[in-house]
Structure 1
């Protein structure tokens, strides 16, 4: 075969995704992070990108942050902007599902391609250091007296901390439809609001508040796990008599319209990254629990999560 014909054949195969990553030209992963810098999705996306570079399953990674509406704004940009692109990925998770249920955006997550669930993380509720309240019992007492006077701060509407706040109200006998929830576009904004005393209670993944808790700038009063988190001396809601348990998982999706082979290549690239030292360090640093799931099992998991979250939100009076 002539050299020019060989090169054309190789280019065609690479464009079609029929060559392994190692045989293709330099591939740049385009990572959509549908949240502002500083939050859990941002940390996850950048940690994964770094690990993909270490694993050599990507030659370079570019990031784009597009926060708002529980990830719906980023999703709305990702769907048309990345169609058919085998190197495009979007960070997503339980928060996005909740936002889709409450916000009903015009774009559909189901048009995108499931790649992998990566981690799970439980939420922690915190008080500003100078709060007049000291415990979750104090918050509950005020919640029962006047639900609207307790200002909850966290991620976008439909986030796991929003759902947890509604569930807490329901379990303690307060009207969940009257909770005063303030949604922020990213973890950085929520943190600033808590530190500034602009909300009564803040909620997010423990990793986002850890440094402020350790520094005494926030007081942790409850976690949403079934048992206390390893190495973290914060009581669960359940041990405080509030029957609420809810987790926050995160994962990645590929672009709409990619082929089964391209999906497999992208999945393999992500799985290779999860074996690196860099990723293991990120798990430890951020107190993430590995929760890896791919393929049909991940597809089914997302469908089941949609149904479960919708049922919880209806029962809690959120929709």
Structure 2
């Protein structure tokens, strides 16, 4: 058979979906990032996209940032624009669950297809370099004197740093409803506010603040992990007598209405990427903890997390 005839035959077979998986060209992935550039979801989505290409799990990846309402705006757009699209993915995580609980948007995660959890990460609280406060104790002392005078900066309402701030207040005897929490649409905006001294204390995943901490532009005063983070000399909140521990995690969902076979293909592509050196390097660089979980197991995890987070937020006076 002539080469051009053979190639035309392959193209026809691919279009008909009858080629074996090994012979099919990797898909052009469309990645919804339901946050503004510069934050944890943006970093995760773009690192994942690059790793998918390096692993041969995607031929190309395009990105669409749509921030606001703890990811609810991007989620709604994803649902409306991607129905049945087997090449569409959306980055999400614990923050989105918190936003859904507090904001009660018309579109929820029940409309999209759970694929996999990728990473987990703990938050760090930091002070601007020129802050008059030096420690978390200084912040707590001021919080007890005048709760409204302490401006907590972080992600959207319902984010893990917002929940952590409410939990801290409750644990030290301050009404969580009185905390002055300033929500930002993305990690980039929150970082700028902290660097500019526009908030008293800021919170986010450690990876988002690491370079500013290393450069002396932010002073870390506590992490939300149960034990100190590996290679990070920052005391936990528990070490400082504050009984608060809360983690963050990030995962990926597929579009509404895809078939079980299409879902499996996406999960297989993510599994291949997860094992690849490019993704392993990205996790190490950003200080992310591997947390692979896929398919129905991931779906059940999200349901359990939703219930647990709702209970925590209710106890902390947030809902």
> Do structure 1's residue 53 and structure 2's residue 53 form an aligned pair?
yes
Q: Distance in 1 between matches of 2:92 and 2:165?
A: 21
Q: Distance in 2 between matches of 1:107 and 1:264?
A: 24
> Do structure 1's residue 11 and structure 2's residue 15 form an aligned pair?
yes
Matches within 5 A, 1:49-88: 49-88=49-88
**Structural RMSD (CA):** 1.6
Query: Aligned residue for 1:213?
Result: 213
The superposition leaves residues 255-279 of structure 1 with CA deviations (integer Å, 9 ceiling, x where unpaired) of 0000000000000001111111111
Q: Distance in 2 between matches of 1:5 and 1:205?
A: 50
Query: Aligned residue for 1:289?
Result: 289
Query: Aligned residue for 2:251?
Result: 251
What TM-score does the superposition give when structure 2 sets the normalisation length? 0.95
> Do structure 1's residue 222 and structure 2's residue 251 form an aligned pair?
no
Segments ≥4 residues shifted beyond 2 Å: 2-14, 22-26
Aligned partner of residue 292 in structure 2, secondary structure: strand
Which is worse superposed, 102-111 or 243-252? Answer: 102-111
Aligned partner of residue 38 in structure 2, secondary structure: coil
Q: Distance in 1 between matches of 2:275 and 2:11?
A: 33
Q: Distance in 1 between matches of 2:112 and 2:58?
A: 21
Q: Distance in 2 between matches of 1:265 and 1:58?
A: 11
Matches within 5 A, 1:1-319: 10-13=14-17, 20=21, 22-25=22-25, 27-319=27-319
Q: Distance in 1 between matches of 2:45 and 2:10?
A: 37
Post-superposition offset of 1:5: 9.3
Aligned partner of residue 185 in structure 1, secondary structure: coil
Q: Distance in 2 between matches of 1:313 and 1:168?
A: 12
Q: Distance in 2 between matches of 1:56 and 1:90?
A: 19
Could you list the runs of 5+ residues in structure 1 that have no partner in the other structure? none
Post-superposition offset of 1:11: 2.2
Q: Distance in 2 between matches of 1:6 and 1:284?
A: 40
